Amino acid sequence: MADTQRTAVHARGITKVFGKNQNAVHALRGADLEVPYGELVMLVGPSGCGKTTLISILAGILDRSDGSCEVLGVDPQHLRQGARTRWRGENIGFVFQQFNLIPALTAVENVAVPLLLLGHSRNKAIAAAEAQLDRVGLADKRRQRPTQLSGGQQQRVAIARALVHEPKFVVCDEPTSALDADNGQIVMSLFADIAVQGERALVVVTHDARIFHFADRIVRMDDGAVTDVRQQASDKTPKLHAHS
């Protein structure tokens, strides 16, 4: 068993069944996962093996059918709906394959959304969002709308949004699959650079073998279960290991 002090995510025997009886789909069949603070874990495996389902459960947006799960010291499923929503807002960062930036808002407003959801004043939220946009190198794109940005730039805005409220746990589902190879590298390298910290755990679901080297640990899944966990020396090592 991992040291819970240093383990952000501690999941055992997670199962998930969608539907009932004949229509039942066993998306997860007893998946185990540990994610230590300060690590970037990549979740890889064939399509339909349950990667998205697993991170949805870890992030507290989906209920598991069975198993035990502790994320940042709590079991999200034991929180009541309102408390769970608030917990997500305070602790989880999300990066989506399709970015999901609100088209009517400027880049900086999109980045400010998590803070506004937490009830911060607009001025404070915008100031923090501007600082975060600077960190992803888009200081000059603050007033642009998503449609005026390239895919890579949009995903950088989305990364800024995922980090602006300093979440302890960040989940990304296929963050590079909507991008070309070069942009995928740029975005992932930026992400590894600014997102990985000693007090934060990160899980990235990906198919993209070209970004595997950014991972501290690669977790393979197949048919609803984890089949292999491989620790690796990340390319972005110096900063990482100084923390953890």
Binding site for Mg ion (CB under 5 A): 52
Q: For residue 119, is it left (φ>0), alpha (ψ between -120 and 50) or beta?
A: left
Q: Please, what is the minimum distance in Å from the beta carbon of residue 176 to ligand ATP? A: 13
Q: Tell me which stretch binds another protein (CB under 8 A): 35-43, 56-64, 68-76, 214-222.
A: 56-64
Q: Min. distance of Cβ 122 from another protein in angstroms?
A: 7
Residue 146 contacts another protein per CB under 8 A: no
74 is an interface residue for another protein by CB under 8 A: no
Question: Does the protein bind another protein through residue 109 (CB under 8 A)?
Answer: yes
Should residue 185 be labelled a site residue for another protein when binding is judged by CB under 8 A?
Answer: no
User: Is 224 within 8 Å of 50 (Cβ atoms)?
Assistant: yes
In terms of Cβ atoms closer than 10 Å to its own Cβ (0-12, 13-18, 19+), residue 60 is buried
Give the strand order in the sheet containing 92-95. 92-95, 169-173, 201-205, 40-44, 217-222, 225-231
Tell me if 124 contacts another protein by CB under 8 A: no
Q: Is 25 in the site for ligand ATP (CB under 6 A)?
A: yes
Asked if residue 137 lies in contact with residue 149, where contact means CB atoms within 8 angstroms, the answer is no
Interacting residue with ligand ATP among 4, 18, 66, 210 (CB under 6 A): 18
Q: Are strands 25-36 and 7-18 parallel, antiparallel or unpaired?
A: antiparallel
CB of 162 to Mg ion, least distance (A): 17
Identified binder of another protein from the candidate list 65, 85, 232, 244, rule CB under 8 A:
85
d(CA 223, CA 18) in angstroms, rounded, equals 14
Q: Interface with ligand ATP includes 51 (CB under 6 A)? A: yes
Instruction: Rule CB under 6 A: say whether 41 interacts with ligand ATP.
Output: no
- Please give the torsion angle defined by the CA atoms of residues 90, 94, 99 and 105, in that order, rounded to the nearest 10 degrees: 0
